[in-house]
Amino acid sequence: MIKGSIYKRDNCILNEVKKTEKYLERAQGLLFRKPLGLGQGLVINKCNSVHSFLMSYSLDIIFLDKFYNIKKTVSNFRPYRLAFCISASQVLELQAGEVERLKIKVGDQLKWVEKID
Protein backbone atom coordinates (compact mmCIF):
# COMPACT_ATOMS: atom_id res chain seq x y z
CA MET A 1 0.00 0.00 0.00
CA ILE A 2 1.03 3.58 -0.61
CA LYS A 3 1.11 6.01 2.33
CA GLY A 4 -0.10 9.59 2.07
CA SER A 5 -2.29 12.38 3.37
CA ILE A 6 -5.62 13.87 2.34
CA TYR A 7 -6.11 17.63 2.05
CA LYS A 8 -9.27 19.71 1.83
CA ARG A 9 -8.42 23.04 0.27
CA ASP A 10 -4.91 23.59 1.64
CA ASN A 11 -5.53 21.99 5.03
CA CYS A 12 -4.37 18.48 5.86
CA ILE A 13 -7.44 16.71 7.26
CA LEU A 14 -6.14 13.12 7.30
CA ASN A 15 -2.46 12.56 7.98
CA GLU A 16 -2.31 8.75 8.02
CA VAL A 17 -3.93 7.40 4.88
CA LYS A 18 -3.11 4.25 2.97
CA LYS A 19 -4.03 3.71 -0.67
CA THR A 20 -4.47 0.31 -2.25
CA GLU A 21 -2.25 -0.68 -5.16
CA LYS A 22 -3.05 -4.34 -5.80
CA TYR A 23 -6.23 -6.33 -6.34
CA LEU A 24 -5.88 -8.28 -3.08
CA GLU A 25 -5.46 -5.05 -1.09
CA ARG A 26 -8.67 -3.69 -2.67
CA ALA A 27 -10.52 -6.95 -2.06
CA GLN A 28 -9.52 -7.07 1.62
CA GLY A 29 -10.04 -3.39 2.41
CA LEU A 30 -10.44 -3.13 6.17
CA LEU A 31 -11.69 -6.69 6.67
CA PHE A 32 -9.97 -8.33 9.64
CA ARG A 33 -8.10 -5.11 10.48
CA LYS A 34 -8.40 -3.03 13.61
CA PRO A 35 -10.64 0.07 13.45
CA LEU A 36 -9.25 3.30 12.02
CA GLY A 37 -8.41 6.13 14.40
CA LEU A 38 -8.81 9.89 14.06
CA GLY A 39 -6.88 11.22 11.09
CA GLN A 40 -6.57 7.77 9.51
CA GLY A 41 -8.15 6.46 6.32
CA LEU A 42 -8.00 3.94 3.51
CA VAL A 43 -8.41 4.85 -0.17
CA ILE A 44 -9.59 1.92 -2.27
CA ASN A 45 -8.93 2.76 -5.90
CA LYS A 46 -10.83 1.27 -8.88
CA CYS A 47 -13.87 0.92 -6.64
CA ASN A 48 -17.45 2.23 -6.66
CA SER A 49 -19.08 -0.13 -4.17
CA VAL A 50 -18.27 -1.41 -0.69
CA HIS A 51 -19.72 -3.86 1.77
CA SER A 52 -19.32 -4.29 5.50
CA PHE A 53 -20.02 -8.01 5.74
CA LEU A 54 -17.91 -9.61 8.49
CA MET A 55 -16.99 -6.15 9.85
CA SER A 56 -17.33 -5.59 13.59
CA TYR A 57 -17.42 -1.78 13.56
CA SER A 58 -19.03 1.13 11.69
CA LEU A 59 -17.28 3.40 9.19
CA ASP A 60 -17.82 6.61 7.28
CA ILE A 61 -17.59 6.10 3.52
CA ILE A 62 -16.73 8.76 0.93
CA PHE A 63 -17.18 7.98 -2.75
CA LEU A 64 -14.77 9.93 -4.98
CA ASP A 65 -14.22 10.38 -8.70
CA LYS A 66 -10.72 10.15 -10.19
CA PHE A 67 -10.12 13.84 -9.40
CA TYR A 68 -11.03 13.36 -5.70
CA ASN A 69 -14.35 15.18 -6.06
CA ILE A 70 -16.81 13.88 -3.47
CA LYS A 71 -19.78 12.22 -5.15
CA LYS A 72 -21.50 10.65 -2.13
CA THR A 73 -20.97 10.17 1.59
CA VAL A 74 -22.35 7.47 3.87
CA SER A 75 -22.06 8.20 7.58
CA ASN A 76 -22.09 5.48 10.22
CA PHE A 77 -21.97 2.64 7.67
CA ARG A 78 -22.79 -0.27 9.96
CA PRO A 79 -21.73 -3.93 9.64
CA TYR A 80 -23.54 -6.13 7.12
CA ARG A 81 -24.46 -3.34 4.71
CA LEU A 82 -23.80 -2.54 1.04
CA ALA A 83 -23.29 0.89 -0.56
CA PHE A 84 -22.42 2.05 -4.06
CA CYS A 85 -22.08 5.12 -6.25
CA ILE A 86 -22.09 4.66 -10.02
CA SER A 87 -20.11 7.88 -10.66
CA ALA A 88 -17.30 7.02 -8.22
CA SER A 89 -13.96 5.50 -9.13
CA GLN A 90 -12.52 5.22 -5.62
CA VAL A 91 -13.65 5.07 -2.01
CA LEU A 92 -12.22 6.67 1.12
CA GLU A 93 -13.02 4.77 4.32
CA LEU A 94 -12.81 6.61 7.65
CA GLN A 95 -13.59 6.13 11.30
CA ALA A 96 -17.32 6.60 11.97
CA GLY A 97 -18.04 10.26 12.72
CA GLU A 98 -15.21 11.71 10.63
CA VAL A 99 -17.44 13.03 7.82
CA GLU A 100 -19.30 15.21 10.32
CA ARG A 101 -16.19 16.16 12.32
CA LEU A 102 -14.30 17.22 9.19
CA LYS A 103 -17.37 18.92 7.65
CA ILE A 104 -17.03 16.88 4.46
CA LYS A 105 -19.88 17.17 1.97
CA VAL A 106 -20.80 16.21 -1.57
CA GLY A 107 -19.18 18.59 -4.05
CA ASP A 108 -16.03 19.17 -1.99
CA GLN A 109 -12.73 18.34 -3.65
CA LEU A 110 -10.03 16.53 -1.73
CA LYS A 111 -6.38 16.11 -2.65
CA TRP A 112 -4.12 13.08 -2.21
CA VAL A 113 -0.45 13.78 -1.34
CA GLU A 114 1.83 10.77 -1.34
CA LYS A 115 4.40 10.48 1.43
CA ILE A 116 7.96 9.78 0.39
CA ASP A 117 9.82 7.62 2.92
Residue 104's CATH number: 2.60.120.1140
Q: Is the pLDDT of residue 117 over 80?
A: no
Provide the number of structural domains found in the chain. 1
Residue-level pLDDT at 76: 96
| pTM, entire model | 0.92
Residue-level pLDDT at 26: 77
Range of the domain at 88: 2-114
For the residues 89-107, what does the mean pLDDT come to? 96
Determine whether 88 is exposed, middle or buried from the number of CB atoms within 10 Å of its CB (0-12, 13-18, 19+): buried
What is Dmax (Cα atoms) for the chain? 36
Q: Is the pLDDT of residue 81 over 80?
A: yes
Residue-level pLDDT at 58: 94
Q: Is the pLDDT of residue 32 over 80?
A: no
